[in-house]
């Protein structure tokens, strides 16, 4: 029975790890389209909102994986609880990204200028 | 009962292993095309999709890590079972999925609202229907 368990463990590690490696390799070699990942779609320049979301995502994902690896030797019954600061920072980062994206769209459509004019006339 | 269990377990493991190996091989040799795995409708990479991909891999790997740990022969107290998933993990996936949906909504609004946005494709593209020319000889079918 132990041999079967070891085989299943090996097979699943190989599949999950293999798939992650192949996807990572294709991303790095440009065979998965990464064009414009960090660019503002309107201006075509590097977007700080996108950059911060990418950093928070990688830091959050890495730290959660590290937490899981740390408790895996202590007979855990479930996945580790996500710390509130991590959850809040990922949520805040996503909000900032979406806010920036909405602003960029509205700005390109001229809505922001019209709003500023409207407020200027009102005062 | 034990040999039967071993044989059926072995067959299932071999089947899943071969299926997975074939899948990875096809992805590696580009027979399964992943070029647009994280691209949006305009063909550019989408950060929301990338984030969703990263969290999916991290949670899948974390789950598997814990299942493996619970099956370990060194751990005598451990009972092999599917690990509990705390609310925070659902929250993390929910934030990522929600962000993806809102982002898609913003993009959709842009393509509906701006003139010329339909040039890139989409449902609001209109076609000019050309009248059919009569067949050679000038005979019109009844």
As for the ipTM of the complex, it is 0.82
Residue B122: predicted pLDDT: 39
Closest CA to A34 of B30, B58, B40: B40
Q: What is the model's pTM?
A: 0.75
Burial call A6-21: b when 16+ CB within 10 Å, e when fewer: eebbebbeebbebbee
Alpha carbons B37 and B76: distance in angstroms, whole number: 42
**Closest Cα to residue A37, out of B49, B57, B107, B109?**
B49
> How far is CA A106 from each of CA A40, A53, A54, A102, B136, rounded to the nearest angstrom?
13, 20, 23, 6, 54
The pLDDT value recorded for residue B22 is 93
- End-to-end, the C-alpha distance of chain B in Å comes to 76
Residue holding tokens 């979301």?
Answer: A53
How many Å apart are CA A50 and CA A54, to the nearest integer? 6
- Residues B74-96 have a mean pLDDT of 82
Radius of gyration of chain A (CA): 22
pLDDT band at residue A102 under the 50/70/90 scheme: confident
Cα gap A109→A111, rounded to integer Å: 6
Residues A1-28: tens digit of each pLDDT: 677 778 877 888 888 889 999 999 999 9
* Exposure of A82 in the CB half-sphere (CA atoms within 13 A): 26
DSSP state of B126: -
Domain ranges of chain A: 1-34, 41-122
Q: How many CB atoms lie within 10 A of CB B97?
A: 14
Residue where the block lists tokens 């294709």: A26
Residues of B numbered 22-81 whose beta carbons fall under 8 angstroms of chain A's beta carbons: which are they? Answer: 23-24, 27-28, 30, 34-39, 42-47, 50-51, 53-55, 57-66, 68-71, 73, 75, 77-78, 81
Digit-coded pLDDT (tens) for A25-60: 999 998 999 988 888 877 788 889 899 999 999 999
Q: Do A81 and B86 touch (CB under 8 A)?
A: yes
- Closest Cβ–Cβ partner in B17, B57, B73 for A2: B73
* DSSP code of residue A52: H
Contact at CB, A16 and B60, closer than 8 angstroms: yes
Neighbour tally for B22: CB within 10 Å: 12
């Amino acid at each position: 029975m132990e041999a079967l368990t070891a085989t299943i463990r090996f097979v699943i590690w190989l599949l999950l790890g293999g798939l992650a490696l192949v996807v990572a390799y294709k991303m790095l070699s440009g065979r998965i389209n990464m064009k414009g990942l960090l660019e503002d779609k309107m201006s075509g320049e590097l977007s700080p909102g996108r950059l911060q979301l990418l950093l928070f995502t990688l830091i959050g994902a890495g730290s959660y994986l590290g937490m899981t690896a740390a408790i895996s030797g202590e007979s855990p019954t479930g996945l580790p609880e996500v710390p509130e600061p991590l959850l809040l920072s990922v949520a805040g980062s996503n909000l900032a990204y979406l806010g920036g994206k909405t602003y960029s769209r509205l700005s390109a459509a001229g809505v922001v200028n019209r709003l500023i004019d409207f407020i200027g006339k009102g005062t | 009962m034990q040999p039967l269990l071993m044989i059926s377990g072995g067959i299932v493991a071999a089947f899943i292993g071969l299926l997975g190996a074939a899948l990875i091989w096809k992805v590696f040799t580009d027979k399964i095309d992943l070029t647009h795995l994280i691209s949006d409708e305009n063909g550019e990479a989408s950060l929301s999709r990338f984030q969703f991909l990263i969290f999916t891999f991290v949670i899948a790997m974390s789950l598997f890590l814990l299942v493996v740990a619970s099956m370990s022969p060194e751990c005598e107290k451990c009972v092999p079972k599917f690990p509990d998933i705390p609310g925070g993990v659902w929250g993390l996936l929910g934030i990522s999925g929600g962000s993806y949906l809102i982002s898609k909504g913003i993009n959709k609004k842009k393509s509906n609202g701006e003139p010329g946005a339909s040039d890139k494709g989409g449902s609001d593209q209109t076609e000019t229907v050309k009248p059919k020319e009569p067949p050679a000889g000038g005979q019109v079918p009844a």
